[in-house]
Structure 1
């Protein structure tokens, strides 16, 4: 059977639904929860906030925690969005091949809002990854005494 769904109003959101829809909803809820948890951590990690002393180590740790949470939330949101689009396209192709008249599936405005939110969350996570890599490179760049010795003996040919 084609497992055709109509536009009937479901009795409950907890009633029987396809696995793909349940997993998509769960991933979107996880994305929302992780993003909400990451927001205060990100605010605490900003240099312009004075809630925590101006200790760079603690602020970097808060930013790193926010980065990890945003990255996990963005990836789960991207998986949910991709999975829903793929499921919708497969249902549409199945109905076309079975020549079912009058039923079409399309990606509505809520889908595109979910795409935009997953993109923004992933973008902010990647910006934090770049910031953390820059901070980590600056810490690792501190010259050692051996590098100072070799720079004294360096000759220039100008």
Structure 2
């Protein structure tokens, strides 16, 4: 029962992380305008994400523009896009597989060892999804940091970390934590040994039947 609760905890943690991965991919605030140092504070704040760039005015009006061309984007943006999409797909497959493999479901209940292995497979997929997200977000943050401290970058064109990066780091942590919990739900060797011992022992009725002919032979002699 405790193992089943452990699986549920890992599943819901990974599910929440997967939802966060989707939100991170869709958010346009991957980097935002920096007002540090001698930067001039303007009435317009600029945000950039994986799919669009936005301008937020002091009146509260936000205007966004989707990137016109995929091939004209920088390499780190294209690679980050690919990693985030792969992470979403891995998480989706992991959700389906984990539901089949968890003990609280009735699918494949006649073979608990195979069922636990399926749950572990779902946990591995969640770990890979979290790892892809962590690599993508960290790489993007590294590029933002490099451009910020690059002396050739104009002061008014520098960007800082956006809120989407922090959501991405949190989502990757939750997904990997939930996947680790699911990977720890594999049955131990002791239970396997007990199950094999019970299956290998003949029943009492079988032993009595095998002993009856020898007993009758002794009585007739």
Same fold (TM over 0.5): yes
Assess if the C-alpha contact under 8 Å between 2:120 and 2:184 holds in 1: no
Q: Please say which of residues 7-16 and 46-55 is displaced more in the overlay.
A: 7-16
Report deviation, 1:88: 0.8
Partner of 1:46: 102
Assess if the C-alpha contact under 8 Å between 2:116 and 2:185 holds in 1: no
Radius of gyration: which is bigger?
2
Q: Show CA shifts across 1:84-143 (max 9, x none).
A: 11111001111xx236221221221222221121111111111123333xx24445776x
Q: Please say which of residues 83-92 and 106-115 is displaced more in the overlay.
A: 106-115
Q: Secondary structure at the match of 2:159?
A: coil
Cα RMSD for the two superposed structures:
2.6
Partner of 2:171: 117
Q: Show CA shifts across 1:40-71 (max 9, x none).
A: 11111111111333420231121121022112
Measure, in 2, the Cα distance between the counterparts of 1:77 and 1:109. Answer: 15
Q: Secondary structure at the match of 1:131?
A: coil
Change (3 A) 1:87 1:129: same
Of 105, 111, 115, the residue aligned with 2:159 is: 105
Partner of 2:182: 128
Assess if the C-alpha contact under 8 Å between 2:127 and 2:175 holds in 1: yes
Higher relative contact order (Cα pairs below 8 Å, separated by 6+ residues): 2
Gaps of 5+ in 2: 1-45, 54-64, 198-221
Higher percent of residues as helix: 1
Higher percent of residues as strand: 2
Gaps of 5+ in 1: 1-5, 146-158
